[in-house]
Each structure stands twice: as C-alpha cells, then as structure tokens.
Amino acid sequence: MELKLFNTMGRQLSTFNPIHEGKVGMYACGPTVYNFAHIGNLRTYVFEDIFRKTLEYCGYSVRHVMNVTDVGHLTGDTDEGEDKIVKSSREMGKTVWEVAEFYTKAFFRDFGLLRCAMPSVVCKATDHIPEMIDLIRRIEAKGFTYSAGGNLYFDISRFPDYGKLALLDQQDLRAGARVEVDQGKRNPFDFALWFTKSKFEHQAMLWDSPWGRGYPGWHIECSAMSMKYLGEHFDVHCGGIDHVPVHHTNEIAQSESATGHTWVNYWLHGEFLLMGRDKMAKSAGNFLTLSSLVEKGYHPLDFRYFCLGAHYRTQLMFTFEGLDAARTSRLGLMERIVQLRAEAPQGPVQAAGKALEYLRDFETHAADDLNMPRCLADMWTLLRDAEVPSGMKLSVVLRMDRIFDLGLDSAKEESLTLDDESKALLEERRQARRAGNYKRADEIRAALKARGIEIQDSPQGQKVRFAAGQRGEKTVTSEDDRC
Ligand SMILES: [Zn+2]
C-alpha cells in the first residue's frame, strides 16, 4: 500500500516516505484545557486517529506525541488577550491547576469515547518549562530574538522562510499587515517566546528564566516537546487548519531557527466543522460538546461515523439530520455484523475472490489521502453483494474496521440499543405498564420521543425505533424490554 498524503507544506499530494524505515514520528497539537472540547475540536482528533490507524494498517509503528496546553495560550492566538486558563480559573473560582486537571480529564474521556487511540506520549506544557527555556536560549544565541517591554520576542525578519507553510505574502509581512496590539513588537507578526510578569499582573503560573520571572509563549511548547520526544527532524505534524497561519507558522520559525535544518517533513491539517455558515468556536458561542450529544441520546460513535462521511480536508456542516443519518447507518452496520455472525457461525473466513477485490479497493482509497467517504462506500457495496459469503464479508469488514474503528468486532445486540438513561426510562415504563400506571407510561413515551426514540408496544414487549431523519428508520428490539 503506497500511502499518498496531501502536504500543506507545498500544497501537494505526495508519496509518504518516513525518515526511518517502518517507523513514523507523529506530533499532534493537543487541547488547551480551559474548557470542554467542542465537537469541532474533536473532528480534528478523529481525523488524526484515522490517520494513525491508516499508518498502522500500512504496517508502520507509530510514535504519536500529543501536548496538553496548560499555560501560555492567550485568548487570541497572536499574543493578545489574557491566558485562557487564568480567565477560566477566575470565572470558575478554582485554581489554574484545578481547571487544567478537570478539563484534561474531560478531554481524554471524550477522546476515549470516540475510540481515539491514546498517544504514545502525552506531555503537559507545565512539565516542560526547562526544555522550553533551553530551546529559547538556542534561538537567542543564533540572533533571532529581541526583548522589549520585558518580553522576549522572535524576530521574523531574521528568518527568511517565515510564512512558507501558510504561503504568507512576504510584502504583507514586511509591511506588518496585521492589526498591531503589542507596542513592544517591531513587526506585528513577531511573537512572544517568553512573557514576563510585566505583561499581566495576575498570571498565576510563573517560572524563573534568563529573561525574568514569567511564562512561555504558546508556540514554544510544541517545538520543545516534539523535539524532546521525536527528535529534531521527524515525519508528520498534524492539527486543525486554523493552526496554519499563526501557530504552526511560528512553530516552524522557532524550531528551524534553533536547529538550522528542516524540522518536519509532512504537515496534515483537518478542516473545520461548521455550524450554519461559521466554524464551530467557543469564542462564537455556537458550539456543542460530545456530552451534549450523548444527553440527546446519541452514541459517541455516531459522531465518529458522521466524521468518516466527509474527507478530512473538506469543511463539514454539522446538522442533527446529518448526525441522525450517521446513527442510522452505524446501527444498520452493527445489525449487519450481528446478522453475519449468525449466518457464519464458524466466524470470519479468509477473504478471496470478490471479497478480496473489495478490500483492495478500500485500501486504495484509504491510501489516497485517507478518503474515508469512499472507504465507507466500499464497505457498504461489499455488504450488499449477495455473491460474497457471510464469513468472508465478516473478515473483510472487521479488517476495514482497523481504520474506521467503530468497534465492530464487539458488535452485539445490546450495543444496537440505547444509552443508559434511555434504558432506565424504558425499564421504568415497563414497570409502570405492569402496575397499570398508563399515565406515567405515556409520560415516559413522550420523554423518549423527545430524545428521538419511539416506542411501540407489541406482544414481545416494547419495541424501540430510532427516528432517523430523511434516510429511513431502523427498528431495534432490546433483549431486556419485554413485558
Ligand atoms: Zn502546537
């Protein structure tokens, strides 16, 4: 399988060749832990997980490093505003450390619910201040910095390649086209490597440094930690597309000015999830969290399936109709797996003939810059092909699921059904009906309907049906709902 990836650096599709045979070093920018991740953020992590699992499918051993930003990320990415975590700590009445711990846990809970594989290394910014200071010293020793107003800045005029990732216009850069917010900067595109307390009086996290007691700029952590865990030249750096013009541009400037050579070979960026016309953003207030979807009765993997339905480099519009369609398809898929198991009690059978052709198509599409919509289509075409024996279908689909990772190998009847809260409501309704309390039973029916779940009473018990948007409906009967 020859893997082709779209490299943001140079804007072209190119064949992936790792630095060390059989091994891939991959760095992904992690969360800033001042609030819950929204599903737009989570789309990026799902894309990175699909990428990692595609690399593993191709036989690479992947060292995946992710940072957790718990200091230094200001409300604006370009050094304006105040530290996001300090702001949350004031609003929540908790210490910055408590805020960071709380939201780090919340993030990895969502991460796990989406079946994203834990990175090989998760590194916190506040645990790597000495590494950041060392790197800043190297940048300083090479003459790329200046200090002003108590802060140490990176001087972009000393780094001729500045902006090559984002294709920033050199003339704009020289003219300093961005709005000036920091009087100390010589050029608005210059950025802070180290802030001293002169910037904010109420900064709670402070460290001693050669430039005074203070804290690091946001970008330096990714340069310092990626080099620590992956070396000074590694294969892939991923993140959301919004990181291209500032964060990743500045990471490259820092890293390559310190080492004097190329830092990263491939840059992959995931596109936005849109809410209406706008990108989902906490600052715009138009965001949804994974738990808010779960509260509405969706399974976290409905969202994963929803993400698979669009290529990672296309913008994806979030709608509940779209999520309903993803849920219907996912439940239908799980149902098919259970059926295939019943039809092929001997289990998966080695694929041959047509089944193998479907698998090859799938691999071609996965290797074509992770074309998951085509891969899903390949899987459904296989499932609909009456000529392929069930055992072979099962083996091919489970193999495909090494990349999709929808948990198909553990598909059971129960998992086709409901979240715990809906299950509890269903059980309460069963008992209410048994006790002749039809008023309560009707109330619960209405409550479940509001969650997109319809109930039909049948001689076998309560039948549950998911309202499923425009693409039809799926009927599921759970084992434990018989009267
Ligand atoms: Zn980063």
Quote the pLDDT of residue 88. 80
Instruction: Specify the pLDDT at position 481.
Output: 30
Separation of 231 CA from ligand 1 center, angstroms? 16
Q: How many A from CA of 222 to the centre of ligand 1?
A: 5
**What integer pLDDT is reported at residue 483 of this predicted model?**
28
> Which among 471, 473, 474, 466 has a CA at the least distance from the CA of 422?
466
Residue partners of 285: CB distance under 8 A and separation at least 6 = none
Q: What one-character-per-residue DSSP string does 50-109 give?
A: HHHHHHHHTT-EEEEEEEEB-S--BSSTTS-S-BHHHHHHHHHTS-HHHHHHHHHHHHHH
Task: Using DSSP bridges, classify how beta strands 61-68 and 23-28 pair: parallel, antiparallel or unpaired.
Answer: parallel
Distance of CA 374 from the midpoint of ligand 1 (Å): 30
Question: Other CB atoms closer than 10 Å to residue 143's CB: what's the count?
Answer: 10
In this structure, the dihedral spanned by the alpha carbons of residues 466, 467, 470 and 471, taken in order and rounded to 10 degrees, is 10
Distances (CA, A) of 44 to 17, 242, 361: 23, 11, 25
> Residue 219 Cα, ligand 1 centroid: separation in angstroms?
6
Q: Within 349-419, where are the H helices? A: 353-367, 372-384, 390-404
Residue in this structure with the two tokens 């290797």, named with its chain if needed: 367
CA distance 31 to 67: 7
402 Cα to the center of ligand 1, angstroms: 27
pLDDT for residue 223? 98
What is the CA(179)–ligand 1 centre distance, in A?
23
Cβ–Cβ under 8 Å, residues 468 and 328: yes
The confidence score (pLDDT) of residue 41 equals 95
CA 248 / ligand 1 centre spacing (Å): 7
Q: How far is the CA of 462 from the centre of ligand 1 (A)?
A: 50
Please report the DSSP string for 312-359 in residue order: TTS-EE--HHHHHHHHHHHHHHHHHHHHHHHH-TT------HHHHHHH
Distance of CA 210 from the midpoint of ligand 1 (Å): 24
Q: According to the model, what pLDDT value does residue 476 have? A: 36
pTM of the predicted structure, to 2 decimals: 0.84
Sheet with 121-124: strands ordered across: 121-124, 61-68, 23-28, 234-240, 264-270
Q: What is the pLDDT along the chain (483 residues), one digit of tens a residue?
A: 899 999 999 999 999 999 999 999 999 999 989 889 999 999 999 999 999 999 999 999 999 999 999 876 666 555 656 677 778 888 888 888 888 899 999 999 999 999 999 999 999 999 999 999 999 999 999 999 999 988 999 999 999 999 999 988 776 666 655 555 567 888 889 999 998 865 566 667 889 999 999 889 889 999 999 999 999 999 999 999 999 999 999 999 999 999 999 999 999 999 999 987 777 777 667 789 999 999 999 999 999 999 999 999 999 999 999 999 999 999 999 999 999 999 998 888 888 899 999 999 999 999 999 999 999 999 999 999 999 999 999 999 999 999 999 999 887 654 445 677 788 888 899 889 889 899 999 999 888 877 767 787 876 677 776 654 323 333 333 333 322
